[in-house]
Chains A and B, each alone.
Chain A
Amino acid sequence: DAGITQSPRHKVTETGTPVTLRCHQTENHRYMYWYRQDPGHGLRLIHYSYGVKDTDKGEVSDGYSVSRSKTEDFLLTLESATSSQTSVYFCAISESGGRASTYNSPLHFGNGTRLTVT
Chain B
Amino acid sequence: GNSVTQMEGPVTLSEEAFLTINCTYTATGYPSLFWYVQYPGEGLQLLLKATKADDKGSNKGFEATYRKETTSFHLEKGSVQVSDSAVYFCALMDNFNKFYFGSGTKLNVKP
Contacts and interface: CB of A to CB of B under 8 A. Distances in A.
Nearest to A42: B103
A43 B32 CA distance: 17
Interface residues of B, number: 22
A42 B89 CA distance: 8
Contacts of A77: none
Interface in A87-118: 90, 92, 94, 96, 103-104, 106-112
Q: Per DSSP, are chain B's interface residues mostly helix, strand or loop, or mixed?
A: strand
Contacts of B46: 106-108
Nearest to B89: A42
Given A41-B103, A45-B98, A104-B93, A112 B49 contact: no
Contacts of A96: 97
Contacts of B102: 42
A50 interface: yes
Contacts of A31: 97
B43 A94 contact: no
Nearest to A111: B43
A92 B34 CA distance: 15
A90 B91 CA distance: 15
B98 A48 contact: yes
Contacts of B89: 42-43
22 contacts: A42-B103, A42-B104, A43-B44, A43-B89, A45-B98, A45-B99, A45-B100, A90-B44, A92-B43, A92-B44, A92-B99, A103-B51, A104-B32, A104-B49, A104-B51, A104-B93, A107-B46, A107-B91, A108-B46, A109-B43, A111-B42, A112-B43
Interface of B: 32, 34, 36, 41-46, 49, 51, 89, 91, 93, 97-104
Q: Which 6 A-B pairs have the closest CB atoms?
A: A109-B43, A42-B103, A43-B101, A104-B32, A104-B51, A106-B46
Interface of A: 4, 31, 33, 35, 40-45, 48, 50, 58, 90, 92, 94, 96, 103-104, 106-112
Given A43-B89, A48-B98, A92-B44, 11 more contacts: A42-B89, A43-B44, A44-B101, A45-B99, A45-B100, A90-B44, A104-B93, A106-B34, A107-B36, A107-B91, A111-B43
